[in-house]
Each structure stands twice: as structure tokens, then as C-alpha cells.
Chain A
Amino acid sequence: MEIEREIEQLHAASFGWAMSCCGRNHQDAEEILQDVYVKILEGKARFDGRSSLKTWLFAVIRRTAAAQARRRMLHDLLTAKWARRELDPVSEPADSAAQHSEISAALIEALRKLAQRQREVLELVFYHDMTIEQAAAAMHVSLGSARVHYDRGKKQLLAKLNGKLTP
């Protein structure tokens, strides 16, 4: 199957994007990517060739992550998980700084402080080597909006990194 081979080639990048979409939680990212693969195999997500496969796949990952976040919020609400969290304030097993180099840990920390759209566009452009236009398509926002998020996000990211990195 041709699409399977192409998706396999994009697997590492897809996993990285899934990590970004779920607050860098390894387990959640695996679950999201698994759901995306199931959607593709069951024909619920179809590639129609209007964009590149990578742009389309990233848009599916982003939508799936948003749906998972909504499901989780509802589940937490129904099971009163927020109340249990207050009693037991152990954080979720998110991506920890110990698993990364110093520069990556600083970058992750600075990215967490950005607005979601700014973080997304910066990751798509710098991490995934997309153009701003491709990033806008993956994020389902207009090109102008993506440019604004990119400019503001980049300035804020560099400011939060306190001169550790150059533009």
C-alpha cells in the first residue's frame, strides 16, 4: 500500500507533532497517533490530494488531539478527577526536562509559555520545516493569521529564552 509507506516515512515527524498537540505527553501522543492511523485505515480520514500528505496528516493529528482533549475534559468532569487531583497533586507524566538536552529542555519550557497558535505555527515551521502557508493549512487558519502568530510567537519565544538562542 503506497500511502502506508508514505505515512511510515512521516511517522517520526507525526509523532513529534502529536507530542506538540498534547502538551508533550508521550502516552497521549501515542494514543493520538494510533487513533489517526485507525481513522485512515477505516476511511474516516481520506487524503484527497488538495495539499501535501504531510499537511493533511498533520491537520488530522491536530483535530484528533483536540477531540481527545475534549473527551478527557468531559471524562475528568464526570469522574470528578479535578477533585482527586487537588487531594493528590502529582503531575501527569508529561515530557520531563531530564529526558532532553539542556537546550531542548529550555526550548520546551519556553514553548509551553506561548499561546497555543503561536506554539503550533513555530513548531510547524522550525521543527517540521514547513512554510507558513503549509502551517496555516495544517492549522486551519488563514495565511495572514498564521503570519501574525508566527511573528509574535517568534519574538516572545526568543524573549523567553533570554538570549540563549539567536533568531
Chain B
Amino acid sequence: MNLRDAFGTLRSEDAARAPRFDRMWRLRTQRRGIPKLAFAAMLLVIVATIFVVRRPEPPRPSISAWKAPTDFLLATPGRELLEQTPELRGTYR
């Protein structure tokens, strides 16, 4: 037997096992419809999840209201003494 005959044998064996053409032609709409629907449903779930899970951002403080976090270091002990004029009591001669 030569190569061409061997391939011919394989071809006829494959042909005997080939699915029917009309069955494959008919199945086309069923096979395409389901993945599209599944894809649409998945997309909907993702979008819904994003809307539900997403939390509102806290309001941003304005720049004029901003306070430095190290401001407390300026509040030194005895600061009130420096902020007022000392009162001199009594008379000096």
C-alpha cells in the first residue's frame, strides 16, 4: 500500500464518523445565543456590583480650613504670659 491509499483509507473512516451537515447547520443559533446572554448577564452583575460596593468619597476640606498636623507643638507651656502685657504693681522710687 502506498501513502495515498493509506490516506484514502483514513479519509473514508473519518467520513463515516463525520457529524451530519444539517445538524451542525441547524445548531448555529442555539450555540451563539447562550454565550451572548451569559455575557450580558455577567456584565450586568459586574456593573451592579460596582454601583453597590462603591462608597461615596468623604468631602475634601478647603485649603483655607486646613490645619497643619504639627500645630499643637506651637502651644508651649506659659504661652499666655507672652501674649499679655505684664502689670506692674506698686511704686518704685
Which A residues are closer than 8 A to B by beta carbons?
A: 4, 7-8, 11-13, 15-16, 19, 26, 30, 33-34, 37-38, 41, 99-101, 103-104, 107-108, 123, 126-128, 154, 157-158, 164-167
User: Which 7 pairs of residues, A with B, have the shortest CB-CB distance?
Assistant: A126-B7, A15-B18, A12-B15, A11-B21, A104-B10, A127-B7, A16-B14
Contact B24 A33 (CB under 8 A): yes
Contact B14 A19 (CB under 8 A): yes
Nearest CB in chain B: distance from A160 CB, A: 12
Give complex CA distance A41, B31 in Å.
Answer: 13
Q: Known A104-B6, A166-B2; judge A34-B28 contact (CB<8 A).
A: yes
Q: List 18 A-B contacts (CB under 8 A).
A: A12-B15, A12-B18, A15-B19, A16-B18, A19-B14, A34-B27, A34-B28, A34-B31, A37-B25, A38-B32, A100-B13, A103-B9, A127-B10, A165-B1, A166-B1, A166-B3, A167-B2, A167-B3
Residues in chain A near residue B13, CB distance under 8 A: 99-101, 104
How many residues of B are in contact with the other chain, CB < 8 A?
22
Who on chain A is nearest to B19 by CB? A30
Who on chain B is nearest to A42 by CB? B32
Contact B9 A34 (CB under 8 A): no
Chain B binding surface, main DSSP class: helix
CB under 8 Å from chain A, chain B span 8-47:
9-11, 13-15, 17-19, 21, 24-25, 27-28, 31-32
Contact A26 B3 (CB under 8 A): no
B79 at the interface (CB under 8 A from A): no
Nearest CB in chain B: distance from A2 CB, A: 15
Contact A165 B14 (CB under 8 A): no
Contact A104 B9 (CB under 8 A): yes
B4 at the interface (CB under 8 A from A): yes
Contact A38 B28 (CB under 8 A): yes
Residues in chain A near residue B4, CB distance under 8 A: 126
Residues in chain B near residue A99, CB distance under 8 A: 13, 17
Contact A16 B19 (CB under 8 A): no
Nearest CB in chain B: distance from A101 CB, A: 6
Contact A12 B14 (CB under 8 A): yes
Who on chain B is nearest to A26 by CB? B17
Contact A16 B24 (CB under 8 A): no
